């Protein structure tokens, strides 16, 4: 049977595919000018495109091809002279008044993937309407130009770092480091966050996994606990050697738009923990205003914290582009998703892991409290205890995915792990609320052959029971 590549289809943030099978030079050369063409429909006064890339296998080669193809199609191009975080290119699109940006990255996906993210001139992910228009043009010829555009190399870091420094008390953080009050440990997962905090803080911040490795050490560059054993080890060692210092571990995904943290005692802190801390820090210490935007997989603590600080709350499907769309029409104090993406309206409508890292550090130094102490104080104020976890199941093929989806639609679940379902929210996957105040979310990945299972409950034991039940259910179909 002859090989057939998967169709070009945009997921929650860009198009991704297996290198050499789905993601090829030919397809990228076809796609890139179409992206610029669609972006220009809503901004005919600009002709400039930003092109950037992360540290994945051949990402720079695909970026050069993208830039040359755009130039041949008549667009002016600013091409990054090196790797940088995806939010740096989103910022560049806004700062340079460009049509938008094309970023060659597969974010947190495994090493065999590469991808293409499309950012709008406003500095964030484009909407589904825009990506649908791009997909609809794929059967047409690429745009022709009477005259080639220009192609210029640029440094994406300088303007981006200046922007982030303007939002945070950099001197406060730097002085805490110099005095020994604060110890920072950073795992950049071989990705585009490398050198970022050193550039921002103006002092040397040692990094774990700082060298380029297109195989990412044999794991995925995703800020999950199972991928960061060395960060846990170093934080626990630092706790012994510097017991009186504030200690913060930080981890970034492959293109530096997702973050997680480790507290001073070596406990993993996902954005389910960090988002409530961001809300308190920005609303109380920095006196900023705006609503909270969470996705359906966000913790039930988030609305309680929003209510505590009298901040409006809005819920979206999973995918940062939905949060970005909300940011274009509303002032958003914090917009975040459980998978590590958090953004702020005082910046750009884009998740930005380095800015989030700076806010973590600023909150810890200003309060003098560890991350978990900040989190526990908030939980106690609203009388809420919970545990959370997520597991991903690899599916055999699209047929299995379709069968599972069909079963969920045709035979609604009424009982999960021996507990009655009291409500089902289906704006993105199926989120089942259960009679014991826990919930289970069953959702299919938009970019990989994966089934994602999420659960939050009063105890970790109940979370594990819910996830084990869902895993058995999925494998039994």
pLDDT at 303 over 90: yes
Report the pLDDT value the prediction gives residue 444, as an integer from 0 to 100: 85
CA–CA gap between residue 188 and residue 94 (Å, rounded): 26
Task: Quickly list H helices, 156-270.
Answer: 157-165, 170-179, 196-201, 229-241
Report the pLDDT value the prediction gives residue 408, as an integer from 0 to 100: 87
Exposed/middle/buried for 3, CB within 10 Å: 0-12, 13-18, 19+? exposed
CA–CA gap between residue 30 and residue 335 (Å, rounded): 34
pLDDT at 232 over 60: yes
pLDDT bracket for residue 446 (50, 70, 90): low
Report the pLDDT value the prediction gives residue 407, as an integer from 0 to 100: 86
Q: What is the pLDDT of residues 167-220, one digit of tens each?
A: 999 999 999 999 999 999 999 999 999 999 999 999 999 999 999 999 999 999
pLDDT at 270 over 90: yes
pLDDT at 404 over 90: no
Q: What percent of the chain has pLDDT over 70?
A: 99
Please state the rounded mean pLDDT for residues 321-340: 92
pLDDT bracket for residue 302 (50, 70, 90): very high
Q: What percent of the chain has pLDDT over 90?
A: 84
Question: What order do you get walking across the sheet with 259-262 strand by strand?
Answer: 207-208, 182-187, 246-252, 259-262, 268-269
pTM for the whole structure: 0.93
Report the pLDDT value the prediction gives residue 105, as an integer from 0 to 100: 97
Q: Are 51 and 77 in contact (CB under 8 A)?
A: yes
Q: What is the pLDDT of residues 127-180, one digit of tens each?
A: 889 999 999 999 887 777 889 999 999 999 999 999 999 999 999 999 999 999
CA–CA gap between residue 93 and residue 28 (Å, rounded): 20
pLDDT bracket for residue 116 (50, 70, 90): very high
3-state secondary structure string, 252-285? Answer: ECCCCCCEEEECCCCCEECHHHHHHHHHHHHHHH
Q: What is the pLDDT of residues 20-72, one digit of tens each?
A: 999 999 999 999 999 999 999 999 999 999 999 999 999 999 999 999 999 99
Mean pLDDT across the chain: 94
Q: Please, which residues have CB within 8 angstroms of residue 393's CB and are 6 or more apart in sequence? A: 450, 451, 452, 453, 471, 474, 475
Q: What is the pLDDT of residues 363-392, one digit of tens each?
A: 999 999 999 999 999 999 999 999 999 998
CA–CA gap between residue 232 and residue 229 (Å, rounded): 5
Nearest of 83, 81, 99, 98 to residue 154 by alpha carbon: 81
pLDDT at 260 over 60: yes
pLDDT at 477 over 60: no
Give, as one character, the DSSP assignment of residue 442.
E
Report the pLDDT value the prediction gives residue 457, as an integer from 0 to 100: 96
pLDDT at 107 over 90: yes
Q: Are 288 and 330 in contact (CB under 8 A)?
A: no
Q: Which domains does the chain have, with CATH numbers?
A: 15-156 (3.40.120.10), 167-382 (3.40.120.10), 387-475 (3.30.310.50)
pLDDT bracket for residue 448 (50, 70, 90): low
Report the pLDDT value the prediction gives residue 1, as an integer from 0 to 100: 58
Q: Are 339 and 299 in contact (CB under 8 A)?
A: no
């Amino acid at each position: 049977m002859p090989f057939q590549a998967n169709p070009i289809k945009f997921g929650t943030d860009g198009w991704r595919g297996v290198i050499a099978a789905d993601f090829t030079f030919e397809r990228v050369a076809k796609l890139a000018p179409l992206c610029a063409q669609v972006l220009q429909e809503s901004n005919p006064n600009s002709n400039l495109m930003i092109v950037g890339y992360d540290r994945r296998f051949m990402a720079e080669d695909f970026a050069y091809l993208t830039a040359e193809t755009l130039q041949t199609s008549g667009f002016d191009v600013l091409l990054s002279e090196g790797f940088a975080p995806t939010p740096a290119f989103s910022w560049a699109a806004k700062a340079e008044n460009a049509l938008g940006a094309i970023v060659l990255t597969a974010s947190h996906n495994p090493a065999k993937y590469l991808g293409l993210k499309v950012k709008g001139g406003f500095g964030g992910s484009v909407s589904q309407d825009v990506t649908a228009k791009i997909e609809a043009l794929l059967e047409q010829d690429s745009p022709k130009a009477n005259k080639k555009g220009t192609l210029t190399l640029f440094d994406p870091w300088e303007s981006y770092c200046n922007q982030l420094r303007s939002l945070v008390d950099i001197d406060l953080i730097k002085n805490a480091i110099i005095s020994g009050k604060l110890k920072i440990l950073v795992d950049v997962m071989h990705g585009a966050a490398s050198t970022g905090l050193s550039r921002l803080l103006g002092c040397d911040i040692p990094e774990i996994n700082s060298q380029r490795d297109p195989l990412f050490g044999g794991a995925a560059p995703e800020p999950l606990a199972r991928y960061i054993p060395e960060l846990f080890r170093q934080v626990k060692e630092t706790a012994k050697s510097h017991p009186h210092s504030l200690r913060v571990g930080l981890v970034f995904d492959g293109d530096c738009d997702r973050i997680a943290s480790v507290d001073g005692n070596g406990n993993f802190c996902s954005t389910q923990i960090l988002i409530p801390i961001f809300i308190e820090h920005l609303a109380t210490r920095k006196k900023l205003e705006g609503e909270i935007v969470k996705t359906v997989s966000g913790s039930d603590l988030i609305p309680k914290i929003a209510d505590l600080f009298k901040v409006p709350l809005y819920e979206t499907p999973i995918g940062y582009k939905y949060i970005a769309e909300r940011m274009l029409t509303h002032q958003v104090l914090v917009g975040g998703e459980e998978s590590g993406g958090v953004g702020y309206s005082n910046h750009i409508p884009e998740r930005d892991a380095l800015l989030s890292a700076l806010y973590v550090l600023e909150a810890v130094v200003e309060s003098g409290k560890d991350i978990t102490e900040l989190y526990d104080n908030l939980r106690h104020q609203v009388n809420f205890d919970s545990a959370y976890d997520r597991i991903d199941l690899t599916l055999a093929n699209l047929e299995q995915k379709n069968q599972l989806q069909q079963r969920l639609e045709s035979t609604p679940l009424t009982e999960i792990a021996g507990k009655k379902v009291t409500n089902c929210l289906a704006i993105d996957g199926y989120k089942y609320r259960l009679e014991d105040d826990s919930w289970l979310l069953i959702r299919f990945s938009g970019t990989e052959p994966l089934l994602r299972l999420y659960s939050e409950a009063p105890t970790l034991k109940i979370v594990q029971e819910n996830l084990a039940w869902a895993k058995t259910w999925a494998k039994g179909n």
